[in-house]
Structure 1
Amino acid sequence: MLLAIEFQSLHEVLRTLYDEMMPLCAQMAGVARGIAGLGALFYVAYRVWQALSRAEPIDVYPLLRPFAVGLCVMFFPIIVLGTINSVLSPVVSGTHQILEGQTLDLHKLQMQKDQLEKEALLRNHETAFLASNEEFDKKLDELGWSPSDIATMAGMYVERASYNFEKQIRDWFRELLEIMFQAAALVIDTIRTFFLIVLSILGPVAFAISVWDGFHSTLTQWISRYVSVYLWLPVADLFSSMLAKIQVLMVQNDIDQLSDPNFIPDGSNTTYIIFMLIGIVGYFTIPTVTGWVIQSGGGGNFSRNINQSARKAGSIAGAGAGAAAGNAAGIIKGELMDKR
């Protein structure tokens, strides 16, 4: 329990780090305004000159795009980051509440299971001395000092020492896996925080570059990447909730078995260890899974697909027209030969 509290404090440090680094976005806004202003000048001038050269009326609505992007650059922490974080924060809070509920149930059931295991060992006269010092002393008092009793006493000491040693090894290995499990979650959260800080600080520059022709997709790509990285934490909480639910079902099954007076627990926790290993490996698939949730295909991709379809249709139409012209020429030539 103390281990979970310590790792939770480390996660809180990362949250504080993100909040402390956000004011740095304002320092990049000056550079971004210059880039966006120059891009807006070329953007508007090119389209106005194009409309004048064709003697066409100037469409004002498309010319508002660089000004809207410039407004986002000027108030980037409030308009862009504030809006995105406000929309996505309920998702993070909801998944974290799910995780807390599952973890709380798991701790309660684990304490109940440990108590039932101790009671199961105490019910059996042959194993009661392993779990209780009183039962061990009581069994020693029942023995005498005959050679057979001395051999029995030695066997009890050896068996008890072996049981305690195996229990310590299992507990140590279990704590090691729990530390690695929590460390994997902390690694994902640290990388997520680093990516969010970089995207946030350099976000005004990305928005400013998107004003220039040929870089319009930068805007949608930045938003998709920011949202995707932001959702790493909710996906990680859902993954942890799933593992906690599996462990709850396993502990409930063990509790049902311990309700049988004839059941003797082995305390190996093999299934628990297997799922901890699966969880450690599974944490590093979170970026891939989140990438499946958030994807963007900007207007550039849409226009490219339309152009490719148009070229294919033109090729097919051209081939069809050529074939029809060839057939018509053959028919006309045949009629002329018949007349001759």
Structure 2
Amino acid sequence: MMPLCEDMASVAKGVAGLGALFYVAYRVWQSLARAEPIDVFPLFRPFVLGLCIMFFPTMVLGTINGILSPVCKATSSLVEQQTFDMRKYQEEKDRLKREAMLRDPAKAFLVSDEAYDKRLDELGWSLGDMDTMINMYGQKKIYELGEKIRGWFRELLELFFQAASLLIDTLRTFFLIVLSILGPVSFALAVYDGFQSTLTTWLSRYICIYLWLPVSDLFGAVLSRIQILMLQQDIENMQDPAFIPDSSGKVYCIFMIIGIIGYFCVPTVSSWIIQAGGAGAYGQKANGAGKMAGNGAAAVGGAAGGAIAGRIRKMF
């Protein structure tokens, strides 16, 4: 997109040149009319803006991206590490969960075909044994069906979670491209009297939208860290032979829902870091959706959130 910035810079040069002519002529004429000495320092402003327009891709975009890029890299490495640890603990939890169910003779046949065949071999062909076989077969199929439904639901939530993350990243990229292409025009308009705030508005909006990615990465890292702590607590509990694991996966689904809602709050949180006028209608709708989502989550998930918070407090 840098060539597009250069093409737009050629148009902005003409606009800025005309504005610089009016800017300098007005102030020089004003000083001469009042018989005052000409203050040269304010007259440098249109020339500095013109210099920024001429070298906009390197001087402006390169400087801003170079300053903010380390922030994105730091948050990206943080969320990658937390995600890797979460997957490792999740695999450990699944393994311990299977071992815990295998230790229970009443449920071992649900997760192991060998235990199921062994139970069938122990039964005879009487009416009572046939009834037991039918019950075992029904329980196994119901358990497998429940696991499939829970797996499909988790995959659906993970799809929505990834879609929300991709939506934020895609819109961020689109807005940054638009701001980068039209940036020289904003700098050119800032030369004119009455439009000086255009420069600071453009800078604040660019930085605010640029920070969407670090904020979303931090949100994902915090969410993953909380899940890691809960997985560690579950692993410790499963090491107890008397512990009965919960196979519903409700906590994981709740955190997926929280993550989906939280991603729509990223523009609001970014605006807390640096004050900007917003990104048009989407910024207002995203902020409003974030507030509505937060209120709805607080109303609907009060009991579940209280239970999770209680578990987290016990961990700490």
Indicate if the aligned counterparts of 2:208 and 2:276 stay in contact, CA closer than 8 A: no
- Indicate which of 185, 191, 195 corresponds to 1:211: 191
- Equivalent residue runs for 1:1-340 within 5 Å: 21-295=1-275
Indicate if the aligned counterparts of 1:235 and 1:286 stay in contact, CA closer than 8 A: yes
SS in structure 2 at match of 1:214 = coil
SS in structure 2 at match of 1:264 = coil
5+ long unaligned stretches in structure 1: 1-20, 298-340
Residue correspondences, number: 277
Partners of 1:143 and 1:208 in 2: CA distance: 88
Partners of 1:271 and 1:240 in 2: CA distance: 16
Q: Which runs of 4+ in 1 moved over 2 A?
A: none
Measure how far apart 1:196 and its partner are.
0.3
What amino acid does structure 2 have at the position aligned with 1:190?
Answer: T
Larger Rg: 1
CA deviations on 1:163-204 (whole Å, 9 max, x unpaired) are 000001111101110110010000011111110000000000
Indicate if the aligned counterparts of 2:209 and 2:267 stay in contact, CA closer than 8 A: yes
What amino acid does structure 2 have at the position aligned with 1:118?
Answer: R
Indicate if the aligned counterparts of 2:16 and 2:46 stay in contact, CA closer than 8 A: yes
Partners of 1:56 and 1:138 in 2: CA distance: 105
5+ long unaligned stretches in structure 2: 278-316
The CA RMSD measured in Å over matched residues stands at 1.0
Measure how far apart 1:278 and its partner are.
1.1
Measure how far apart 1:266 and its partner are.
2.6
* Identity across the alignment (%): 63
Partners of 2:202 and 2:104 in 1: CA distance: 65
What amino acid does structure 2 have at the position aligned with 1:206?
Answer: S
Indicate if the aligned counterparts of 1:121 and 1:131 stay in contact, CA closer than 8 A: yes
What amino acid does structure 1 have at the position aligned with 2:44?
Answer: L
Measure how far apart 1:23 and its partner are.
2.0
Measure how far apart 1:296 and its partner are.
6.2
